[in-house]
Amino acid sequence: MIEKTEIKLPSRLETIDEAVVTATKMATDGGLSDEALFGIDMAVREAVANAVKHGNKFDQTKQVKITFENRAHELLIMVEDEGSGFQLNAVPDPTDSANLLKESGRGIFLMRSFMDEVVWEHAASGGTIVKLTKKF
C-alpha cells in the first residue's frame, strides 16, 4: 500500500521547514533510521531551496509542490517548481578545484550524496521536478 501526501508551499525560504517536517514524518512512519532521516532532511532542504530560489526565483505568485510517497521499500519525494527549468549539465561541479570556495552550487551534490536516487525531469508546466528516493 502506498501512503501519499502532497503539499503546496509559497516560494519563500521560510517554508522549507514545513516540507522537512512532512518528509521526516513520512520517513519515520516508514521505519527509516536516524541516519537516513538526517540525509532526507538535508536533501529536502536543498531541493526546496533550489525550487524557491532558482526555479521560481522567489516569485510568491508561484508555488512549490511537494509529493511524498511511502512505498513498499522506499520513500519517494518529488519537488516541483513553476519556473522555466534548467539544464543539469550546465551546473558547475562543486568538487572541481575552481569551485571549492564558491558559496553556492553544492545542493545537487548533497542530494546525490544523501539519497539512493536523484532524478530531474521537466514538468509539463515548464518547471522542474526533482525526484528523491530513499530505500528502506
Q: Note the pLDDT tens digit of each residue in 49-79.
A: 999 999 999 999 999 999 999 998 999 999 9
In the block, cell 538526517 appears at 38
Identify the pLDDT of residue 102: 60
Q: Is pLDDT above 60 for 19? A: yes
Measure Cα distances from 10 to 18, 83, 105 in Å. 11, 13, 23
Identify the pLDDT of residue 23: 96
Amino acid identity at 82:
E
Full-model pTM: 0.89
Q: Is the dihedral of CA 16, 66, 111, 101 positive or negative?
A: negative
